[in-house]
Amino acid sequence: MRSLDRQVRTEGEHNSTQPKLPIEQGDVLGRMDIPRLGMSVAVLQGTNSRILRRGVGHIVGTPLPGEAGNSGIAGHRDTFFRALKDLRIDDQIRLQTPTAILRYRVDWLKVVASDDTNVLAPSAESALTLVTCYPFYFVGPAPKRFVVHASRD
């Protein structure tokens, strides 16, 4: 969270016409909040095990949050994304990046097979797809995925 605060301050001090630095694995992209659940978590670039111990991770190959398209974010069901089990349609998701506060509203929730990548399909509108393992209290590698889709407010 301190890293995001520094990025926000730095972004405000720089001219927006300066080129952006490339994003590296593990870089802090922002903070995701789900107010009704009291959830707040850092969003990092990538989804390796080290990254997912520190926060939730942006799925490489999907647009960055705030860009046009379907941004994917993954997290562990037994840590940061455990609260998703209590999410409801129409709940708000806020994502703060160094340059903006993005607001999304949950459209749908569903359980899919672990190899179903259709939920991350490109879209024309700015959307957010959260993915975690399912069932939430399963011991060992979970056989399915719990998926949350939200559209920009």
Catalytic residues: 76, 133
- Alpha-carbon distance of 95 to 90, in angstroms, equals 16
Tokens found for residue 43: 């969003």
Q: Are 151 and 104 in contact (CB under 8 A)?
A: yes
Q: Residue 36 is encoded by which pair of tokens?
A: 């009704």
Rounded Cα–Cα distance for residues 46 and 27 (Å) = 8
